[in-house]
Structures are given as structure tokens and as C-alpha cells.
Amino acid sequence: MKQQNRIHNPTEIDRLLIEKDLKDGKLVIVQFSSKLYSDKILADLNELCLQFDENFSVRFYGHYFDCNILLKLPNIKALWLDCLLEADNLEVLTELKNLKRLSLGIFELKDTEILQAKNFQNLEKLIICETRTKALNLKYLEDYTNLDYLIISGHTKNIDAVGKLVNLNFLGLNCISKVRLDFINKLNKLKSLHFVLGGRENLEEIEENEIETLAIREVRAFKSFKNIANFKKLKSLLIEGQIQLTEIHFDKELTELKDLMIFNCKNLKSLTGIEKLNGLNQLKISKTEIVFEEFMEQIFPKSLKIFAFCTTKVKIDKEIKEKLLKLGYKER
């Protein structure tokens, strides 16, 4: 993930700083939490939008917003319009012909068909935030053929359309429950899959895939991960805040898995099959019911270099740290 520089409520635009950060490979976001954008600032921003690619972004958030302001940014390529309660004149969004990246988060959004905008079909990255209505129509996403990054929060109407995004590389499903995941099996180029909040018992609808990064965080009712072997190309696995998950077992080799992180799974008592992860480099376990002494009876891959085990009990954690250091493992 690129390092970000967020420039907050500027009274003038520092072109040299922005140009330097972009040349250094950073993502630059000029953001406004109130109506502090003068015509001069908007004109300067529009010139920068013309000069630079979509790694230069403008964000409006946290205040009432009139989209007519965007008429002064016709060159904008990356727009964050989120954390807004209300916004008027949303039709202006359809006039932004150069738009490549969009974060759309207007809680009182009324136009449930807004994703049908033709210029949106040119988007490469899209974040759809939660709204009061749950009727936002995702069907139009099937025409977003350039999309490689997508996060959907709280919306499920016609979510199967996501399965037609053949170039999708990253998919985040936040606060989503009670939908089947079969459409993910059609995403042959998908490398990163993140679940945050929402609810589901397992991921058993997901078949063999090419996913390299998987995160499961605070998903309500998640209690089983029996098809973990389907993620045969997995390089990084994060499981966090899954209080109903009691065991994880690697029953087949996952030779690509380098990083395994399990945090705050308070009822997790068993983590076995570590010997099948013969490329594992980093293992971090925190706030589980796993007994350290029993866990250490397993055979660990020779590739393991970083190993941290935390119970949050100061004395015990100190002893565990010393034992791991004596075994030649680093904490970070």
C-alpha cells in the first residue's frame, strides 16, 4: 500500500511539496472538512489534476457539500466524496469525464441508480460506503470493465454483478451478510480479499482460487474455516476478532504462505498443521486460548524467522518472549 500524505484544509496550495511527494511515490490527498476552498484554491487544484495522474486526489468530507463545486474541477481523476451526511446536485458527478478513482460515501444518498453513470464505467478504483438506503443497485458494476480495486460497504442488491469484473485485483466486502459468495469464484485475477464486519459462518462457497492476501476481521458468527486449502496461493492471512472460531487446521500444504497473523480470537484453542506451511516467515498470535506449551509441540518450518505469541499477561508474555528468543526467533 502506498504511503499517503493528506493535506488538510489548506489555505494555499504548495505545488512543490505535492510534486515532490508524488515523485517519491506517495499518494497525495488534498482534503477539506469544511467550505474553505476558494475559487483560487479550486483553480490551482484543477491545474494539478491536469498535470498529475490519479495518485493526486481531492477529498471533501464531514460537511454539507454541493456537487456544483466539482464543475470547477473538470480535470479531476481521483475524488473522495465520503463521510458526508448529505450532498446536492449529484448529477454533476456524471460530467467528470477524467475520473479514474472514486470514493462515494453520502449517507442520505437518494439516487439508488447512480452507478449507471456512463463515466463511472471508466473507473479503475471504487469505494462504495454505507448509506441509509439498502437499495443501491450494484447491477451496473458489471460494465466497469477497467475496475481493479473495489470496496463495498453494506450493499448487496445485485452483488452478483461483481463476478463479471474480470480485471478485479482487490475486493473488500464490509458490513455484508446473508449473501452467497459464489460470484468470487469467477474472479480469476483476484489477489486480495478482505472481509470486515458483517456476518457469515464460513467461506465454504469459495472454491480453489488465486488469492494471495486474505483478511477476515470482526465478522460476526464466523466459526469455521475448513476450506482453507482452497487458498493455495495464499501469501498473507490475517484473522482478527473472531470470537466463535475455536480451531484452525492446515490439512494441506500452503507453500506460498509467508505471513500468518491471528489476533483477538478469544476462543481459539487449536492451531495445527503449521508444519505444512513450509514457506512461513512470520507467525504472530495474540489474545487466544491456545496454550503456548502445547502449541510448541508441533514441528515448525525452517523458514520461520519472526514469531510472536502474546497472552496479554505481562509475566507470562515475558517468559514466552525469552523462550522464543532462545530458539532463535525474532519478535519483529
Q: What is the CATH number of the domain that holds 134?
A: 3.80.10.10
Residue 277 lies in a domain: no
Cell numbers given for 108: 442520505
Q: What does the pLDDT read at residue 332?
A: 87
179 falls within a domain: yes
What domain range includes position 184? 109-190
Q: Quick one: 90 and 116 in the same domain?
A: no
SS3 content of the chain, % helix, strand, coil (to 5): 25, 25, 50
Could you tell me if residue 166 is inside a domain?
A: yes
Out of 190, 214, 244, a domain closes at 190
Same domain for 78 and 118: no
Q: Are residues 6 and 87 in the same domain?
A: yes
Q: Judge if 68 and 148 occupy the same domain.
A: no
pLDDT tens digits for the chain (332 residues)?
789 999 999 999 999 999 999 999 999 999 999 998 999 999 999 999 999 999 999 999 999 999 999 999 999 999 999 999 999 999 999 999 999 999 999 999 999 999 999 999 999 999 999 999 999 999 999 999 999 999 999 999 999 999 999 999 999 999 999 899 999 999 999 999 999 999 999 999 999 999 999 999 999 999 999 999 999 999 999 999 999 999 999 999 999 999 999 999 999 999 999 999 999 999 999 999 999 999 999 999 999 999 999 999 999 999 999 999 999 999 98
Residue 125 and residue 79 in one domain: no
Cell numbers given for 18: 505535492
Q: How far apart are CA 179 and CA 158, in angstroms?
A: 10
Same domain, 58 and 138: no
Q: Give the three-class secondary structure for 147.
A: coil
Same domain assignment for residues 80 and 124:
no
Question: Is the same domain home to 94 and 124?
Answer: no
The answer to whether position 237 is within a domain reads: no
The domain boundary residue, chosen from 162, 190, 218: 190
Q: How far is CA 143 from CA 167, 253, 274, 295, in A?
A: 12, 38, 42, 49
Phi-psi region of 6 (alpha: psi -120 to 50; beta: other; left: phi over 0): beta
pLDDT score at 2: 84
Number of domains present in the structure of the chain: 2
With respect to residue 160, please indicate whether it lies within any of the assigned structural domains: yes
265-272: long-range contacts, CB 8 A cutoff, minimum separation 24 = 265/239, 265/240, 265/241, 267/243, 268/242, 270/246, 271/247, 271/295, 272/247, 272/248, 272/298
**Residue whose C-alpha cell reads 505481562 in the numeric block:** 314
Same domain for 41 and 123, yes or no, is no
Amino acid at 274: I
Rg from Cα positions in the chain: 23
Which of 190, 222, 251 is the last residue in one of the domains? 190
Virtual CA dihedral for 58, 63, 64, 69, nearest 10 degrees? Answer: -20
